[in-house]
Each structure stands twice: as structure tokens, then as C-alpha cells.
Chains A and B, each alone.
Chain A
Amino acid sequence: MSRLGRALEDRLALRAPLRHALRRLFPGSWSFLLGEVTLFSFVALLLSGVYLALFYRPSLAPVVYHGSATSFAGATVPDAFASVLALSSDLRFGLVVRRFHHFAAHLFIASLLLHAARVYFTGAFKRPRELTWWIGLALFALALINGFTGYCLPFDLRGGSALRMMMTTLESVPWIGGWLATLAFGAPFPGHAILGRLYIAHVFIGPALLVIFIAAHLYLVVRLTHTNYPGLGRSDRTEVGARMWPDQTARSTTLLFLVFGTIALLSAFFPVEAVAIYGPFQSVSSYAPLSPDWFLMWIEGAFRLLPGQLDFHFLGANFTNPFYGAVLLPLGVFAACAVYPLVDARIYRGQITSEHLLEHWTERPFRTAFGVTGLLFLVLLSVGARNEAMAASLSLEVWQVNVAWGIVTVAAPSTIFVIVLAALGWLRRRRARSMPAEYQPPAA
């Protein structure tokens, strides 16, 4: 071992930089581990995804299924669907790995969301870390897109319907929609090309971009140092935390296996064999209730809640519901997140005294109110994606629920915005009054 170390040192002279890297500090708060959970679920996704990719066939060609899934014995189904069935029913560990991949994806996006929320509400995106935030947003978008392509691939009724909506979404882009749809699908729906293209997007382009952006994100985290919650010994010139070696290495590797274990535990207790329940996609069929995965429910909610009366024709182009719900809404949400650091810097100009210390959410009324409003809006939209369930339980027509829930979806976040802003503003003024003059923040 020491000879190997000697040999490497003679050639690469890594001792000094490595020693420097291993002495870097990592903050102790649990909330800093959310990003690591995201990273480790991505590792879980890569590992299980490579295994699944060995058995999946991205083809729509009809084949006769001869396997142990008895409900499809002798049935003619798309090859992709048959390969997922075979993976789930005929392969010794296939279903374990499929479930593992499924829950890794859900944990990846959920922890990404929590990590982003922590960064947002503590102001960790502020100068000099805007670039880290923007790369994180790109990662979020990529994660959502890869989640979507992933659940389309089995070409079950749910995936196929989602693909149909993706084509509609492309088609709905004003002026160029028709070209986008035919360039993506090659032909009228479903065509023969789409699954092959989606497969490449899901197993190569998406993961490659994710890896590149994750590397950039981590580079910036290391380069700019971690933020710290305010406290004894923490300032712009000093930081407090655990050394990369041995403390943080112990914590991170432990966390890696805790994440894997949690994903495996979810796979054990929450079976996902929905592919066989939905059956293969057929153009004559649809299924009710049909919902995307939870992380895309907000888009589905917009599809359902926005009435057809909003559609209009302008300069030879049609502006329609799918364009609002699946193009404008996501663009708007991501644009709002992207410009927010600049807005925040303007609003709190002169009040932000530290680059590296985090702020408490009660200290920044507008930031907190805006974040809570945005999250609530997306949650309410997502709940709107189950308008048929609300209608059934209230014995109403779906359109009546749409009107009522549409009002709630707009009114509740606006109300919350005003309430949070007012309450935190009051709290801030009260604190300022009760603080001795020498602790008062410098005037703006």
C-alpha cells in the first residue's frame, strides 16, 4: 500500500492538493445533507438504470408475448411493453431493480426540491452563488424531463398517453408547433421513431447533461465554500464544520448507503407493477383517472383547470390550452426562479451584510412570502389535476369543480402572500424596536 502510494506520489505529486481537499470543512446541519441525498439518489439511478437498459427494447413493433405474466399470455403487444413485462415477470431480479429505479427517481426529484427550498428560504442563492443556483435550476429541469421520458418508455397506457400529450404540447407551440411535432415524432402519432429517440434522450443525453451540470454545481460549491448558519465562530472569514476526512467522508458514505437502503425499503413495501395493470397503449383506449407522476401534476392541473375559452387565434397562430399549461407555465416558473436572485439583491440592497452566512426566513419577508406563494400555487395546481376525484366526492360536475378550484388556486396564494408579508414585516419591526441600538443592522 505504501509502495503504491509512493509510486503515485512520485508521478502525480497529489499529496499537497489532496491534503488541502481533505481538510475542507462541511457544515454540520442536517439540511446540508439534502443535496447529498439528491446526489446519491442520482448514483442509484445510474446504477439501476444501466441494468434496466440492458433488457429494455425501444420498439413499437407488435410482438406476441410469451412469458409468465399470465394476463398477457399470447397477446400481441408493443415490443417495448413486452420487454418491460419480461423484465418484471421473467427476470430474477428485474422487478427489484425496476422498483429501485422508480423510487430512486422519486427520491431524486423530492430531495432536489427540498434542497432547492432550503437554499431558497435561507438565501443561499445570493451573491456570489447565483451561478450555482442557476445550474441547480437547469438540473431540476433536466430531472423533470428525464422523469417524464422515463415513465413514457414502457409504452403502457399511461406512458403512451403521456407521449400523446407531449406531441400535442410540441404541436401547440405557436407558428412552429407542427414542425416541432413532426421533427420529434417523424410521423403522425405514434410513428415508429419516437421510442428510440426517447430512449437515447433518457439513457444518454439526459444523464450526460445531468453529470456535466452536477460536476459544475459541485465545482462551484467547493470553489465558493459552503455557507454557514449564523453562530459562534462563523463569519465571512471563518467557517465551522466537519473535516472532509475523516468526519464528512464517514457521514457521506454512511448517507450513501442509507439512501440506497431507503430506496430499497420503499421498493419492498410499495410495489410498482402498474405497467401490467394499465396494459399496453392502444390509440382507442384511455384510462380514468389518468395522472402523471406527482412531480408533473402541476402541469396536468393547468391542463385541466384552464378552460377552452382562453384559446385564441392571433397572426395565423393558435394559442391553446396545452401551450399555456405545458410550455408557458413551466417557462414562467423557471424564469421566476432564475431571475429571483437578481430581484432579491435589489429588494434587500444594503441589508445583506454577509456573503457566506445564511439568513433566517423571518428576516426576509418578501423572499419568504414569494416562496411560500409559489409553492402553494404549484401544490394547488397539482391538486387540481385530480378534479375528477373532487367532483366525484362532492357530487359535482367537473366543470363546477374547475371554476371553484381555479378561484382557490389563484386566491389562496395571493392571500397567503399578503398575510406572510404583513406578518413577517410586523415581526421584523418589532424585533428592530426591541433590539439595543448597537445591534441594529446598518441602515439601507
Chain B
Amino acid sequence: MDEEQNVFETRPPRRGYAGGAVVALAVAIGATVWAYVEYVGAARVSLLALALAAVCFGVAFTILLAFRSAFAFSTVQAPRPTPTPTEAPIDFGVGARRGFVALLGTAAASLIAIVLLPLRSLGGAPRPTLHATAWRRGVRLLTVDGAPLRPQDLAPGSATPVVASTAPDDANSIAVLVRLRGSPTPRAYSRICTHSGCAVSMFRTAESQLVCPCHYSVFDAANGGEILSGPASQALPELPLTVDADGFLVADGDFDRPIGPRCG
């Protein structure tokens, strides 16, 4: 069975391909001209993409037309050229020499070790840097615009993000200042969700709840950031607050627990 047994030929009509190619070319030119005459910005981008699409479709039709002009399409039945396994598996000729494998293994292990060592330089030790914050006793709370805050600056029933005056760009130290309804003093919590590290940026005034919009962990702002529902398993760390000599809000120490998600 060396040659094929059956060949079935078909000759689809050519006219459809030629028509398709012509239409595609017209669309491509039209869209390009229209894009530059009429539009700027996003609409022009869309028309240029349309022109690109038309060129691609036109090329597809042209290729089909070219092949169709030269050949008939056929379906063929032929012997299947599958690999034929032999009785004996491959023999590298090292069978009895067990030292060969051991030596190669040792060489490979040393190579892996020496390649792994430089990877250590990719990052430092995880503790304490991963959860370290800039909050110390006396560090002022600033708004994201850099203004210090007095306790009464925040309206009852509202929340605002705050940063540490000593490290306003430190992502670990970002907190949220909330003033509950009917409460004279605000409270501050870490703004980094203990579930997966998103900013806990929603505050439900009526329920005094802080909500993370990424996965909907809900924390109780009236009760030390305790978990109410959702995938988080650690309460939101609270920042102890006090007021400095000038009447501005300052931290009275670091958060009451490590910020952010816990290490595994």
C-alpha cells in the first residue's frame, strides 16, 4: 500500500472569491480615506482597524482564488504513516555502568545549585519588611494632598484616606480615617485589606462598615475592624490616635496588628 487509494476532487466556483476580494479592497480604501477625512481619535482608530480587517479578508480571498485557479481541491485516502515501535526500547549502552548516572546526577545537582544561588539577590528577607509601616507615636496623619487633619475636620459619617507624614508614599502605611455618626472622635484603620491587599476604599455610612471592593470583605468600623463577612480572616488593623500640641491628629503608636494579608 504505497500509493493513495482514493482521490475525490471538487471544484468550487471562483467568482465568489474574486467578488469577496474586490469588496474587501473597496472597504479597505474607503475606511482609510474616511478615517483621515472625517475623524480623529478613537473613531479614526476604529476605521483604521476596519481597513486592516478588510485587507486581511481581501488577502484571504486572493489566496483562495490563486490556489483555486491553479489546483482542484481534493480529499485523499492514504495509508497512515504512523511510527512503528520496535520490540526493544532505545539502549544508550550505559546499562550496567551505574556510576554514569550517579556522576551525571551530581554534575546536574551542582549546576542547579550554582544557578540558584544568584536568585537570592532578587529580594531581601520577608520579615519584617513585608508588613512594616512608618507609623510611630507622634507621626501626623496627612490627607493624600499632604494637609494635616484636626479631629473635627472630618464630617460625622464620612471616611477619607490618610498617609503618614514621615512617609507619604509608603504603600504599607496608608490608612483610612473614619468618623462614625454621632461620634466626636475619628478612628483610623489600615486601608490595606487583610484578605488580598486591595485598598479598603468603600465606607457604608449607615452601617459603619468598611468594605473592600475587590472581593467584598466587610469590616466593622465601630468595633476595632472586626470581620463581618467575606473572604478575609483577620480584622482590619486599627491605628491608635491622639492629638498633638497643635491640635492635629497623630498616631499613638503602630497599628494594633500586622497590616495586610498574612504570610502563609
Please give 10 more A-B residue pairs, beta carbons under 8 A apart, in addition to A182-B129, A250-B73: A25-B78, A96-B49, A188-B131, A189-B197, A236-B82, A250-B68, A255-B60, A264-B53, A288-B201, A398-B230
User: Which of B105-113, B146-154, B209-217 binds A?
Assistant: B209-217
Query: Do residues A161 and B214 form an inter-chain contact, with CB atoms below 8 A?
Result: yes
Q: CA separation between A164 and B215, bound complex, in Å? A: 13
Kindly report which residue of chain A lies nearest to residue B173, judged by CB atoms.
Answer: A283
Chain A residues within an 8 Å CB radius of B48: 93, 96
B122 contacts A242, C-beta separation under 8 Å: no
Select one of A96, A164, A224 contacting B45, CB under 8 A: A96
Residue of A nearest to B57 (CB): A261
Instruction: List, in ascending order, chain B residues with CB within 8 A of A268's CB.
Output: 46-47, 49-50, 52-53
Q: Which positions in B face A, CB cutoff 8 Å?
A: 1, 5-6, 42, 45-50, 52-57, 59-60, 63-64, 67-68, 70-71, 73-83, 119-120, 122-127, 129-132, 144, 161, 163, 170-172, 174, 191-192, 195-202, 212-218, 227, 229-233, 260-264
Whether A201 sits at the interface, judged by CB under 8 Å, is: no
Q: Assess the A182–B264 pair: CB atoms within 8 A.
A: no
Q: State A181–B132 Cα separation when bound (angstroms).
A: 14
Closest to B83 in A: A223
- Whose C-beta in chain A lies nearest to the C-beta of B231? A321
| Interface: A172 (CB within 8 A) | yes
Query: Is A371 part of the contact surface with B, judged by Cβ < 8 Å?
Result: no
Report how many residues on chain A are interfacial, defined by Cβ distance under 8 Å. 101
| Contacting pair A288 B231 (CB below 8 A) | no
10 pairs, A vs B, C-beta closer than 8 Å:
A25-B76, A165-B198, A177-B126, A184-B123, A235-B80, A253-B60, A304-B216, A308-B227, A319-B264, A399-B230
Residues of chain A in range 185-238 having any CB-CB distance to chain B below 8 Å:
185-190, 193, 223-225, 233-238
Residues of chain B lying within 8 A (CB to CB) of residue A398? 216, 218, 229-230
B196 & A238 in contact (Cβ 8 Å cutoff): no
Which residues does A use to contact B, with CB under 8 Å?
Answer: 23-25, 28, 93, 95-96, 99-100, 161, 164-165, 167-169, 171-179, 181-190, 193, 223-225, 233-243, 246-247, 249-250, 253-258, 260-262, 264-265, 267-269, 271, 273, 283-290, 300, 303-309, 311, 317-323, 355-356, 387-388, 397-399, 402
Instruction: Tell me, in angstroms, the Cα distance from A193 to B121 when the chains sit together.
Output: 12
Name the residue in B75, B123, B161 with the highest tally of chain A Cβ atoms < 10 Å from its Cβ. B123
- In the assembled complex, the CB of B135 is this many whole angstroms from the nearest CB of chain A, namely 14
B130 near A178 with CB under 8 A, answer yes
Q: Report the Cα distance A213→B263, complex, angstroms.
A: 34
List the A side residues contacting B5 at CB < 8 Å.
233, 238
Inter-chain contact B233/A188, CB cutoff 8 Å: no
Query: A190 to B170, alpha carbons, bound, how many Å?
Result: 9
Task: Tell me, in angstroms, the Cα distance from A210 to B215 when the chains sit together.
Answer: 32
> B63, B174, B260: which has the most chain A beta carbons within 10 Å?
B63
Q: Please give the distance in Å from B172's CB to the nearest CB on chain A.
A: 5
Alpha-carbon separation in the docked complex, A118 to B202 (Å): 44
Q: How far, in angstroms, from A345 to B120 measured CA to CA in the complex?
A: 44
Decide if B171 touches A189 in the complex (CB within 8 Å): yes
The complex places the Cα of A34 from the Cα of B124 at a distance, in Å, of 45
Q: Quick one: closest B residue to A388, CB to CB?
A: B216
Q: Which single residue of chain A is at the shortest CB-CB distance from B43?
A: A271
CA distance A189 to B261 in the complex (A): 12
The answer for the CA separation of A112 and B214 in the assembled complex, in Å, is: 28
Give the residues in chain A near B63, CB-CB below 8 Å.
Answer: 250, 253-254, 257
